[in-house]
Chain A
Amino acid sequence: MNSAPPRTSGPQPRLCAQSSADASDDLSRDPTIVHRTPADPEAVYINKPVEGNQEAQRGRESPAENAEEVPARIPSEEDEPRKCWICFSDETEDTPLTSEWRTPCPCALTAHESCLLDWIADLEAPNPNRRTAVPAKILCPQCKSEIKVARPRSIIVESVNAVERILGKAVVPGAFTVIAGSIWAGCLVHGIATVHLIFGREGATRILTYGLVPQADPLTELFAQHSAIVPRWNLPLSLGLPLIPVALIFSRTSVADSVLPLVPITFFIAQNNDWDRWDLTRWPPSPAMVIATLPYLRVAYNELYERVFGARERRWIKEIQPRSGETEQDINGGDIHQAPENDAQRQDEQNLLMEINVEVEVVDDDEGVNNDLPPGQQEAAQGPAAAGDQAAEPHGRHNNFVISTSQLVDTILGALVFPGVSAAMGYILQLTLPRSWTTPPFSGPFGRTRLTGLLQARWGRSIVGGCIFVVLKDALTLYCRWKLAQGHRKRQVVDYDRKKKKTESR
């Protein structure tokens, strides 16, 4: 067969001339060409072992073979020679080396076994575009019925293939599980750290080891006490602790306003032991009680802040806007937002937060900081845990809801750091307040002590400290706003004094 190309070159020029003539006379193909052309290619290509002129071939061929070849051109005869649909050669060209003929499917396609196996090997070859190593089925390209291949079976190879297929399907869910697990673990650690910061070491150990059987093996006990890692599967703890950072982050936004109060309750109801018993008449209240009321406190504080300072703050902010940049529409828009209806506000803020997902990747820091919402309201919405200082950047007003990445990070980081800040404030309280306020009257074994004031326990100081921090921060922010707004009208551009060669303030 390696002599094929030279042979093609023989009749080629003539045929090319013919075909270009075909093209030029616009497809009205001269019927004589059909009669003329078959002779040459037939002679040259089909009877490969024979070289020489066509008369000689015809002479040498047996009449039967010759008769068979003619119907091969007109494929409707019954007894035409089988023609391989892959290599296009037919039975008449079979040599002793040619492999057997196979008809693997109901349709008329037949092929050499070796051709079929080549084709199947190509289909089964590992392909970067294909996930599993072996395609499920090999189908006849014509009739789409399955072509069965008998091959030596190996249990090991098959089971490896099966495992690969299963693993291939498990990749995406597996990745999601890993990501979710990492987030959960991170939240859990943060929750544990929070409990430690707020309740102190002993209180934390108490909470975190709750549910441990007292006779737990000493190793676990030790582990639990010294590292405060949740020692065994405990549903309220392993779900509740990771929810702490989540709740903190949400409490800086207004998305979860309606759900947030429920989170601590469910957590602490599940935690219902002696220490955390619900007793509304007891003073000081139990930690569970205090923490569960925080969301309500937050809502009340927001409301109060909005009522008392909301309008003024917005006025102050507006004061320092460049006048030229402010259109009638902007002011109107602002006024609409200033309407104190909570539902409308919440609606807006939800839109805003929906937008975070969309915008985060696109927006640069300087592209406008969430200013459609009057920043005062935004701050108010963010609750006691928030008092966002980002609200203190009222550059320019934009009408589209846009939140910057830096602001998002700021919100999340602020929320996560907040327990630490609270604990620090609690410590400052301990140092600054009179000792009699911060020491329990009777120092018995921890937890059995009857406290008479909120500040006598570390958790109480932390929580009060956190609240004080929020109030102070809000107050400071408000003061800055007010001061800026006041000073805004008195601004002057300082002249350059040529005599003294420096700018001189008057």
Chain B
Amino acid sequence: MFASKRLGKELAKIHDKLPPGISVAKAEDLQEWQMDIKVLDDNPLYRDETYRLTFHFSSKYPIEPPEVTFNRTGGFKVPIHPHIYSNGFICLDLLGKQGWSPVQNVESVCMSIQSMLTGNTKNERPPDDEEFSSRNTKRPRDVNFYYHDNDV
């Protein structure tokens, strides 16, 4: 009830207006949305690519953070980034329990991820990507990410 009220508000807002490079792909219910993001500058890592994010909302949203992952299916690629695992998991502090606060919303999360990509110059995966992506069976919210650094 809490979540649906707030998500209804957000849905209205994002259908109304979104920053450039971010668009709604699918928002048919109040549990899962899909958002498309593009990196607008000429970053060669992400040029001309559209990435699709899946948002999962729990019933305690926005008290609890949404689960946000990059889609691997449907012809979408997971952008290469030192904080993004090849299974689509994103290591971003504002998506964790410690970094999240209810002032964040779908739009601001999309913008954070977009700027995270924009600012990146490293063509690499996280150092433990191979092991994590192949072994991990947990959901994103149950993973304790160790935030390697703050410079990206």
> In the assembled complex, which residues on chain A have CB atoms less than 8 Å from the CB atom of B47?
none
B residues 27-57 in Cβ contact with A at 8 Å = 27-30, 36, 38, 40, 50
Interface pick from A41-49, A254-262, A347-355: A41-49
The answer to whether B5 and A89 touch across the interface, beta carbons within 8 angstroms, is yes
Knowing that A37-B15, A41-B15, A88-B6 touch, tell me 7 more A-B residue pairs with CB under 8 angstroms: A8-B28, A15-B24, A20-B25, A86-B102, A87-B6, A89-B9, A115-B102
The answer to whether B11 and A119 touch across the interface, beta carbons within 8 angstroms, is no
Q: In the assembly, what is the distance between CA of A142 and CA of B103, in Å?
A: 8
Given known A19-B15, A22-B23, A88-B10, contact A119–B29 (CB-CB < 8 A): no
B interface with A by C-beta (< 8 Å): 1-2, 4-6, 8-13, 15-17, 20-21, 23-30, 36, 38, 40, 50, 60, 62-64, 97-98, 101-105, 144
Q: In the assembly, what is the distance between CA of A115 and CA of B2, in Å?
A: 9
The answer to whether A27 and B24 touch across the interface, beta carbons within 8 angstroms, is no
Q: In the assembly, what is the distance between CA of A22 and CA of B105, in Å?
A: 21
A interface with B by C-beta (< 8 Å): 1-2, 4-5, 7-9, 12, 15-16, 18-20, 22-23, 27, 29, 34, 37-38, 40-42, 44-46, 73, 85-89, 109, 115, 118-119, 122, 127, 129, 141-142
The answer to whether A27 and B21 touch across the interface, beta carbons within 8 angstroms, is yes
> In the assembled complex, which residues on chain A have CB atoms less than 8 Å from the CB atom of B105?
88
The answer to whether A141 and B102 touch across the interface, beta carbons within 8 angstroms, is yes
The answer to whether B103 and A88 touch across the interface, beta carbons within 8 angstroms, is no
The answer to whether B97 and A46 touch across the interface, beta carbons within 8 angstroms, is no
Q: In the assembly, what is the distance between CA of A20 and CA of B30, in Å?
A: 19
Can you identify 28 A-B contacts, CB atoms within 8 angstroms? A4-B5, A4-B8, A5-B4, A7-B8, A8-B28, A8-B30, A12-B27, A18-B15, A19-B15, A20-B23, A23-B36, A23-B50, A27-B23, A37-B16, A41-B11, A45-B12, A85-B102, A85-B103, A86-B6, A86-B63, A86-B102, A87-B2, A88-B6, A88-B105, A89-B6, A115-B102, A119-B101, A129-B144
> In the assembled complex, which residues on chain B have CB atoms less than 8 Å from the CB atom of A20?
23, 25
Q: In the assembly, what is the distance between CA of A192 and CA of B30, in Å?
A: 73
Nearest B residue (CB) for A20 = B25
The answer to whether A9 and B36 touch across the interface, beta carbons within 8 angstroms, is no
> In the assembled complex, which residues on chain B have CB atoms less than 8 Å from the CB atom of A19?
15, 23-25
The answer to whether B24 and A45 touch across the interface, beta carbons within 8 angstroms, is no
The answer to whether A122 and B16 touch across the interface, beta carbons within 8 angstroms, is no
Nearest B residue (CB) for A42 = B12
Picked from B10, B11, B16, B24, the residue with its CB within 8 Å of the CB of A38 is B16
Given known A27-B20, A141-B101, contact A88–B4 (CB-CB < 8 A): no
The answer to whether A45 and B11 touch across the interface, beta carbons within 8 angstroms, is yes
> In the assembled complex, which residues on chain B have CB atoms less than 8 Å from the CB atom of A42?
12
> In the assembled complex, which residues on chain A have CB atoms less than 8 Å from the CB atom of B27?
12, 16
The answer to whether A41 and B16 touch across the interface, beta carbons within 8 angstroms, is yes
> In the assembled complex, which residues on chain B have CB atoms less than 8 Å from the CB atom of A118?
2, 63
The answer to whether A15 and B15 touch across the interface, beta carbons within 8 angstroms, is yes
> In the assembled complex, which residues on chain B have CB atoms less than 8 Å from the CB atom of A85?
102-103
Picked from A2, A15, A41, A119, the residue with its CB within 8 Å of the CB of B102 is A119
B42 to chain A minimum Cβ distance, whole angstroms, is 15
Q: Which of A41, A44, A89 has the most CB of B within 10 A?
A: A41
> In the assembled complex, which residues on chain A have CB atoms less than 8 Å from the CB atom of B38?
27
The answer to whether A5 and B30 touch across the interface, beta carbons within 8 angstroms, is yes
Q: In the assembly, what is the distance between CA of A1 and CA of B85, in Å?
A: 38
B127 to chain A minimum Cβ distance, whole angstroms, is 22
Picked from B4, B12, B28, the residue with its CB within 8 Å of the CB of A9 is B28
Q: In the assembly, what is the distance between CA of A105 and CA of B57, in Å?
A: 28
The answer to whether A44 and B12 touch across the interface, beta carbons within 8 angstroms, is yes
Picked from B20, B97, B101, the residue with its CB within 8 Å of the CB of A129 is B97
Picked from B4, B21, B98, B101, the residue with its CB within 8 Å of the CB of A4 is B4
B150 to chain A minimum Cβ distance, whole angstroms, is 17
Q: In the assembly, what is the distance between CA of A73 and CA of B29, in Å?
A: 24
> In the assembled complex, which residues on chain A have CB atoms less than 8 Å from the CB atom of B62?
86-87
The answer to whether A41 and B144 touch across the interface, beta carbons within 8 angstroms, is no
Given known A15-B15, A27-B38, A41-B16, contact A1–B97 (CB-CB < 8 A): no
> In the assembled complex, which residues on chain B have CB atoms less than 8 Å from the CB atom of A15?
15, 24
Picked from A8, A34, A142, the residue with its CB within 8 Å of the CB of B11 is A8
The answer to whether A34 and B12 touch across the interface, beta carbons within 8 angstroms, is no
Q: Which of B4, B8, B24, B101 has the most CB of A within 10 A?
A: B8
> In the assembled complex, which residues on chain B have CB atoms less than 8 Å from the CB atom of A89?
5-6, 9
Picked from B24, B50, B60, B103, the residue with its CB within 8 Å of the CB of A122 is B60
> In the assembled complex, which residues on chain A have CB atoms less than 8 Å from the CB atom of B15?
15, 18-19, 37, 40-41
Q: In the assembly, what is the distance between CA of A18 and CA of B23, in Å?
A: 10
Given known A5-B4, A16-B26, A129-B97, contact A119–B63 (CB-CB < 8 A): yes
Picked from A41, A86, A87, A119, the residue with its CB within 8 Å of the CB of B12 is A41
> In the assembled complex, which residues on chain B have CB atoms less than 8 Å from the CB atom of A45?
8-9, 11-12
A221 to chain B minimum Cβ distance, whole angstroms, is 59
> In the assembled complex, which residues on chain A have CB atoms less than 8 Å from the CB atom of B21?
27
A255 to chain B minimum Cβ distance, whole angstroms, is 37
Q: In the assembly, what is the distance between CA of A46 and CA of B26, in Å?
A: 21
A18 to chain B minimum Cβ distance, whole angstroms, is 8
Q: Which of B29, B36, B63 has the most CB of A within 10 A?
A: B63
Q: In the assembly, what is the distance between CA of A12 and CA of B29, in Å?
A: 10
Nearest B residue (CB) for A23 = B23
The answer to whether B12 and A46 touch across the interface, beta carbons within 8 angstroms, is yes
Nearest B residue (CB) for A3 = B4
Given known A41-B12, A45-B11, A87-B6, contact A23–B25 (CB-CB < 8 A): yes
B7 to chain A minimum Cβ distance, whole angstroms, is 8
Q: In the assembly, what is the distance between CA of A43 and CA of B16, in Å?
A: 12
